[in-house]
Structure 1
């Protein structure tokens, strides 16, 4: 209900006080992402919620270099091979969002106080 505007139209979800761009090739554009904690520049704890596939209340993401092109799940920006990104930590069982990437610049720009 909180996503409905006064006119009854569905609005884009708020992600750490940033609106995710609509459209594009991002497989994760329907999810809600919150940056809960940053551990320096090497890792972060992220809350990930996607009603169509998975929900992780506290998921550990690590900073690495993108091995392939993609789309930032947080900002919708293009990711090129070689960009600094954060990815979910590989654990067992394998997270359903293991292919997701967040640009390091986008994650590091989010204020932890926003959206809480």
Structure 2
């Protein structure tokens, strides 16, 4: 079981329903849903520095259940359920430092 989150730059106010629509499009692999930004790329690099991506070698200790997805527009993570309490707050805080929106689809919450 995993806990999913998505992060992207959002220049306008967006509610949970609007964020879900973008998240749904992003998880379907659509591009152009959000604008590419250095903030997204920098955020992704910071995430992977603190929590290395999932590999065969670290599968037992990684906080991820699949590889971290970053396409320059967004970062989507699947957190191991056992690590969700640790990572949700840390990633949300890190996203705020990079001026990114954090979307939690399980709770249907938007964090700025």
Q: TM-score range by the shorter chain?
A: under 0.3
Report the TM-score, using the length of structure 2 for normalisation.
0.25
Which gives a bigger RCO, structure 1 or 2 (Cα 8 Å, sep 6+)?
A: 2
Report the TM-score, using the length of structure 1 for normalisation.
0.25
Q: Between Structure 1 and Structure 2, which shows a larger proportion of strand residues? A: 1
Q: Which has the larger radius of gyration?
A: 1
